[in-house]
A and B are shown apart, each in its own frame.
Chain A
Amino acid sequence: MNTPQASSASYYAAAYQRLSPLLPGGGLGWLTQARRAALARFARHGFPTQRDEDWKYTSLAAIAAARYDLWPAACVDPLAGVVSQRALAGAHLLVFVNGRLHPGLSRPGDLPPGVRLNSLAYCLEEQPASVDPLLLLGAAAAAFADLNLAFMADGAYLHLAADCHLAAPIQLLFIASQANLAIQQRNVLWAAAGSSACIIEQHVALGEGSYLTNALSNVVLEAGASIEHYLLQQESPAASHIATIDVRQQANSSYSSASFAFGAHLARTGITVALQGEAARCSLDGLYLTAGRQHVDHHTCIDHRQAGGTSRQLYKGVLSGASRAVFNGRVVVHPDAQRSDAEQSNRNLLLSDKAEIDTKPQLEIWADDVKCSHAATVAQLDEEQVFYLRSRGIEQAKARTMLSRAFAREMIDRVACSPLQEALDEALREKLRVMSC
């Protein structure tokens, strides 16, 4: 059989044979077994196609056809400049280069007792007992999750002990510098009961190479824990970025994430949140700005499994050029999840006649005492507003940029962490400059 699926399966199988002695946690039987099982699943199903409802609007043909390198070469690029430019004041910083922790550039700073922040590779090799297999194996079986499990080599491993509050944010800076590399990065964020932290996950690139980031985060919030999770995607304009975030929440916990997608040629962020305990709260924000031929896809799924859960989603997009954005938001309220309260909103601004948006907000309700709503809008700039600005002497292009910025700015204003807010504002300005030409 010489189908594309079979050939990409055999490519990854051969790569695994070659690389398995190098993968961390080789001594852990459960992990090796799980890696092999994931690879076998991938061989059976391959990459999803557009016939798959979840990938209806996003083609993976380019990723499926690519033959990525799966192991990074030694990085010889000077990186100190990038790091100092990106490092947020006061943050506990871990820097990953091409998917591997770079201890020399990292500045974890003083962490209070109860906070364990390490590289995943270190945990798997040196403290294997501390890694809960369920954490790593929990994510849904899907092509990218399977590939990630088979090849994951590093990422951040954060554990917060009960009632531990980390005041300063943790910044995880991922720098990609090697063309044609597939970075299989795995993060674990585990907040024990009553703990809290703010995590900023930032993806940047050196140069404009084509590579793949396949990032998977396992996030667990025990009862009463609270996590703010910011995702700032500024990958190279030729890169593909696939992020999967799997969140499990116990009673009264609170997870809020905000995703800012500025970079990459093809980007897909999938967030799955399971509200497994009563009165858990989650809030997902998203902002995407697209130019040229960019394709940005957001999939969210919030599973209200227990009573009294609250979820809020607000995704905003500004599209220019011949770019395309996809939003697919799903809210499921299970029969036991009475008194669930879910709101979802997706607002899009189309700036060019070649840009396209496909939005699909969904509600699946199996309980009766619920308050759920969703809304989606697609519109262009209000010409009345543009004229008003022009009549005050502001040129047309500038007026349009101002209005687009005002539309997008709302998402940045909602960010609680102020050094991040400044970085985001700068990124927004830069992106709007690109979009207006």
Chain B
Amino acid sequence: MLDIRNLQVSVDGKAILKGIDLQVKAGEVHAIMGPNGSGKSTLVQLLAGREGYAARADAVLYQGAELLGMAAEERARQGIFLAFQYPVEIPGVANVYFLKAACNAIRRHRNLPELDAIDFLALIRSRLKLLGMDESLLYRPVNAGFSGGEKKRNEILQMAVLEPTLALLDESDSGLDIDALKVVAGGINALRSPQRAIVLVTHYQRLLDYVVPDRVHVLADGRIARSGDRQLAIELERTGYADTPAGHPAPPASRA
């Protein structure tokens, strides 16, 4: 589903990713771990279509098509979803309106009939229930005034509604208490299917107790330093990232 060969990315002339190779097949869950500043966020943001990166690669293929150069909204319609590490606040735009616009944009692309308000509400209510979220959240502006946990859960809700083919989750576990973490993990697990691939970016192995990955990669200094199965994450939890090469000092394009 996703085939990355020799991906190199720099920001303002500074090399962030220095040759990444990664293959993710449908039905797989991959976890990308690594110290702060190792380039994890850059990788998934680039895949979602954020601009401002200078990227070159032998290939970045998604479902066999070249991804670099494709507009962010086009990628979303093709089924790529990024759960943001810092979800953006959009005052004045109601969550439900935003989700309906996004959902129908994607359905149009898939040649599915657009949902009217009633069908859409039925869909979203079922997803809310699944995630144990309150309906009042729909009528609040997107992420504005949300707590950290609410924002993360709102990202998972969006994922559940938009039903992506490739889900990229950027530190969706950070800042969550254990109950919120279980909700988020439950949402991710509910989405696991043979047709779908999931890439989890996480700093801690905690989330992996609930969402068991097929493969674990350790990113350090812009390269995949090690790859393995779930045992690698457990090992890292014990030993830390000390034996991996030093990370890059500052993560790019992160929102302060």
Q: Which residues of A line the B interface, CB within 8 A?
A: 382, 384-385, 387-396, 398-399, 402-403, 405-407, 409-410
Chain B residue numbers with a CB within 8 Å of A402 are 93, 98, 101
Instruction: With A393-B73, A405-B92 given, name 9 new contacts (CB 8 A).
Output: A389-B90, A390-B71, A391-B50, A393-B77, A393-B109, A402-B101, A406-B91, A406-B141, A409-B92
Q: How far is the CB of A436 from chain B (nearest CB, A)?
A: 14
B98 near A389: Cβ-Cβ < 8 Å:
yes
B50 near A387: Cβ-Cβ < 8 Å:
yes
Chain A residue numbers with a CB within 8 Å of B81 are 391-392
Q: Name the CB-closest residue of A to B158.
A: A392
A406 near B255: Cβ-Cβ < 8 Å:
no
Chain B residue numbers with a CB within 8 Å of A384 are 88, 255
Q: How far is the CB of B128 from chain A (nearest CB, A)?
A: 17
Near A by CB (< 8 A), chain B positions 80-98 give: 81-82, 84, 87-93, 98
Q: How far is the CB of B134 from chain A (nearest CB, A)?
A: 21
Rounded to whole angstroms, the CA-CA distance of A387 and B141 in the bound complex is 17
Given contacts A395-B105, A402-B101, contact A390 B92 (CB under 8 A): no
A393 near B102: Cβ-Cβ < 8 Å:
yes
B167 at the interface (CB under 8 A from A): no
Chain A residue numbers with a CB within 8 Å of B50 are 387, 391
Q: Name the CB-closest residue of A to B164.
A: A393
B49 near A391: Cβ-Cβ < 8 Å:
yes
- Which listed residue (B82, B90, B141) contacts A391, Cβ 8 A? B82
Interface centre among A382, A392, A399 (most CB of B within 10 A): A392
Query: CB-defined interface of B103-122 with A at 8 Å, one 1/0 digit per residue?
Result: 00110010000000000000
Q: How far is the CB of A395 from chain B (nearest CB, A)?
A: 5
Chain B residue numbers with a CB within 8 Å of A393 are 73, 76-77, 102, 105-106, 109, 162
B72 at the interface (CB under 8 A from A): yes
Q: Which residues of B line the A interface, CB within 8 A?
A: 48-51, 71-73, 75-77, 81-82, 84, 87-93, 98, 101-102, 105-106, 109, 141, 158, 162, 255
Chain B residue numbers with a CB within 8 Å of A382 are 88
Chain B residue numbers with a CB within 8 Å of A392 are 73, 76, 81, 98, 102, 105, 158, 162
Rounded to whole angstroms, the CA-CA distance of A382 and B144 in the bound complex is 14
B93 near A403: Cβ-Cβ < 8 Å:
yes
Given contacts A384-B255, A396-B71, contact A391 B76 (CB under 8 A): yes
Given contacts A388-B88, A388-B90, A409-B92, contact A394 B101 (CB under 8 A): yes
Q: How far is the CB of B172 from chain A (nearest CB, A)?
A: 14
Chain B residue numbers with a CB within 8 Å of A398 are 101, 105
Rounded to whole angstroms, the CA-CA distance of A384 and B73 in the bound complex is 14
Closest 6 CB pairs of A and B: A406-B92, A393-B76, A390-B72, A392-B102, A388-B88, A390-B73
Chain A residue numbers with a CB within 8 Å of B75 are 391
B72 near A406: Cβ-Cβ < 8 Å:
no
Rounded to whole angstroms, the CA-CA distance of A387 and B106 in the bound complex is 16
Chain A residue numbers with a CB within 8 Å of B105 are 392-395, 398
Q: Name the CB-closest residue of B to A397.
A: B73
Chain B residue numbers with a CB within 8 Å of A403 are 90, 93
Chain A residue numbers with a CB within 8 Å of B76 are 390-394
- Which listed residue (B87, B101, B106) contacts A388, Cβ 8 A? B87
Rounded to whole angstroms, the CA-CA distance of A392 and B162 in the bound complex is 8
B101 near A385: Cβ-Cβ < 8 Å:
no
Chain A residue numbers with a CB within 8 Å of B90 are 385, 388-389, 403, 406
Chain A residue numbers with a CB within 8 Å of B71 are 390, 395-396
**29 A-B pairs whose Cβ atoms sit less than 8 Å apart in the complex:** A382-B88, A384-B88, A385-B88, A387-B51, A388-B84, A389-B90, A389-B102, A390-B71, A390-B73, A391-B72, A391-B76, A391-B81, A391-B82, A392-B81, A392-B158, A392-B162, A393-B106, A393-B162, A394-B102, A395-B105, A398-B101, A398-B105, A402-B93, A402-B98, A402-B101, A406-B90, A406-B93, A406-B141, A407-B92
